[in-house]
Amino acid sequence: MAAPGLSESVLEAIGDTPLIEVEEGIYAKLEYLNPSGSIKARIARYIVEKAEREGLLLPGHTIVEATSGNTGNAFSMVAAIKGYRMVVLMPEGLSTERVAISRAFGAHIEHVGEFYVTEALKRARELGKKEGYFCPAQFDSEWNVEENREWLGKEILGQLEEGGVGAPDALVMGVGTGGTLIGVGQAFREKNAEAKLIAVEPEESCTLLCGESGVHKIEGISDGFVPGIYERHAERLGVDEVYAVGSEEALGAMRWLARRRGLFVGPSSGANLVAARRLKEAHPELKSIVTLFCDEGEKYISEHFPATREVEAEAR
């Protein structure tokens, strides 16, 4: 037990991230400020500790997960703190920084497939069935939904209430696993049954809208398939619309957030802002649209923040 005023580990720094009004009527939860640099720190801690309580994860075990990057970083961080071995399965062709972060936490990285996580998922399921391995199965796990409803969702509702905003009118969220849209959406609907739920995916990879997948630049969403969580819950919960956002538009919003708001975030955050603005324009009567800025820009420096004269001139 840590002494008063001290923390036992960095796990205690997860959560309680700021909620800010980034534009009139658009509120952004700054999840990129979590340790590990993304919203995924929440499910990593939640799922690992629940698996420990259920007896599914024991000392000496290995955690294995398929990821496009952020979940691998988060589970690698938690594994390092708790003394588990970690195997991160991820495709080639994604952010080199996110690979390096998992490796820095001591994880073993295995590249499976190209760009999409479908092949990595198969490998994770195979390993997860072996003795001494635990697979969190982020794309299917109800614990993912549970965490987002009971922890993140209630945290946002408390901040809105404390800030005098009241019940949220809408949630706008890119779909990676679908856990945040569904879980936080459930919490919002308990507070306001009429709250709009808007899913976001890349224009170049409209998997939810039309069943197609393509290469895009908004890493962390649209992994090449409809996640089990979204498939099970979207119709029953009543997701209102799916907005398709182009990669370049998302990247433009991402850079605008850094240069005009001091928010150094990744491309999915830009996509979420674009979609939130679009919803606000279509429904000006909505007074409180909530979105999330899910991961930090440091994970994309080599890809999207090049040190060129053109970029520097654009910023002036």
Q: Which residues are catalytic?
A: 40, 268
CB atoms within 10 A of CB 249: 18
Q: E-assigned strands of the chain?
A: 19-23, 26-30, 62-66, 85-92, 108-114, 133-134, 170-174, 196-202, 241-245, 289-293
Handedness of CA 32, 199, 257, 300 (dihedral sign): positive
Do the beta carbons of residue 183 and residue 149 sit within 8 Å? yes
The set of residues, in sequence order, having a beta carbon less than 8 Å from that of 87 and lying 6+ positions away, is 62, 63, 64, 65, 107, 108, 110, 127
Do the beta carbons of residue 247 and residue 147 sit within 8 Å? no
Q: How far apart are CA 61 and CA 42, in angstroms?
A: 21
DSSP string, 183-243: HHHHHHHHH-TT-EEEEEEETT--HHHHS-----S-TTS--SS--HHHHHHHHHHT--EEE
The length of the chain, given as a count of residues: 316
